[in-house]
Amino acid sequence: MSGPGGGTAPSEVSAPDWPRRAAPAAPTSAELDARVTECRACPRLVEWREKVAREKRAAFRDWEYWGRPVPGLGPPDARLLVVGLAPAAHGGNRTGRIFTGDRSGDVLFAAMHAVGLANQPIAVHRDDGLRLIGTRITAPVKCAPPENKPTPAERDTCRPWLDAEIELLRPTLRAVLVLGGFGWQALLPVLADHGWTIPRPRPRFGHGAHVELASVRPASTVHLFGSYHVSQQNTFTGRLTPAMLEEVLAAAARAAGLSVNSHPV
Ligand code: SF4
């Protein structure tokens, strides 16, 4: 294995166990993110993300699509982690930054800015100046899947990247906001494996769900929140409104010890 972004052999990064071998060895979030972008462990997703990047959507034909895994975004000492599902084919898979360049991201970043978790409400490309405040955003599956539906096997293959991300964030992590049931189901076993106690029966996903999870070694508490996903299906139908999203973001931010705008901007 070579260093991050160092041109690791294609046979290595295409092996199903590449995430399991590469992720735990990354000493920093920056190096983890660099390693993620090399990954080719899921043949179906690699084929799809690259096909979308070649064929493009007509509106974006002048773009050079990213067409690779999309790493997490935000400071390495974040207190709040927002967990989605996977990058969008013409959003993150085009721009190379999570939730950037699609309608879901428009809704999410506008709400984060209103609450005080982002320096601007707009996210259009990787060099647009967006900065997250005390918050990191990630996804349990780092490549765009067909129809936004990764398989359980793809979720499990990708899991070591999320495992390593949680471990690196652990010293500062105080709250997690999960967008949607897929992320909720993917994240609970990860938190359990990292020492947080998951109540029995398992907490059910729902918008506004909130449960405190304790860990003994090392002693820490994480507040887990649920929100409907910022998908167009939810936001266009009014199932998830900007006010609902701002409310749950603010609650998660307060639980994480972050300061929150008292009056949304
Ligand atoms: S989904 Fe995850 S494990 Fe699969 S190729 Fe993408 S980054 Fe690698």
Q: Say what the pLDDT of residue 75 is.
A: 98
For residue 262, pLDDT over 90 is answered with no
Read off the pLDDT of each residue in 115-131 and give the average, rounded to a whole number. Answer: 97
Task: Tell me, in angstroms, the distance from the centre of ligand 1 to residue 227's CA.
Answer: 24
Q: Which of 47, 141, 148, 149 to mutate to test the pocket of ligand 1 (most atoms within 8 A of CB)?
A: 141
Sign, CA dihedral 57-60-62-65, equals: negative
| Residue 83 banded pLDDT, cuts 50, 70, 90 | very high
Task: Tell me, in angstroms, the distance from the centre of ligand 1 to residue 42's CA.
Answer: 5
Q: Which of 8, 14, 143 to mutate to test the pocket of ligand 1 (most atoms within 8 A of CB)?
A: 143
For residue 160, pLDDT over 60 is answered with yes
For residue 30, pLDDT over 70 is answered with yes
Which one is predicted more confidently, 234 or 5? 234
pLDDT tens, residue by residue, 34-75: 999 999 999 999 999 999 999 999 999 999 999 999 999 999
Query: Where along the chain do its domains lie?
Result: 10-255
Closest atom of ligand 1 to CA, residue 141:
1
Side-chain-side CA neighbours of residue 199 (13 Å): 9
Q: Say what the pLDDT of residue 180 is.
A: 97
Query: How large a percentage of the chain has pLDDT more than 70?
Result: 96
Q: Say what the pLDDT of residue 2 is.
A: 42
| Residue nearest atom 4 of ligand 1, based on CA coordinates | 42
The CATH architecture that domain 10-255 belongs to is 3-Layer(aba) Sandwich (3.40)
Closest atom of ligand 1 to CA, residue 39:
8
Q: Say what the pLDDT of residue 189 is.
A: 96
Task: Tell me, in angstroms, the distance from the centre of ligand 1 to residue 64's CA.
Answer: 21
pLDDT tens, residue by residue, 224-238: 999 999 999 999 999
Task: Tell me, in angstroms, the distance from the centre of ligand 1 to residue 41's CA.
Answer: 5
Q: Say what the pLDDT of residue 3 is.
A: 39
Closest atom of ligand 1 to CA, residue 41:
5
Which residues line ligand 1 at a C-beta cut-off of 6 Å? 19, 36, 39-42, 45-46, 69, 141-143, 154, 157-158
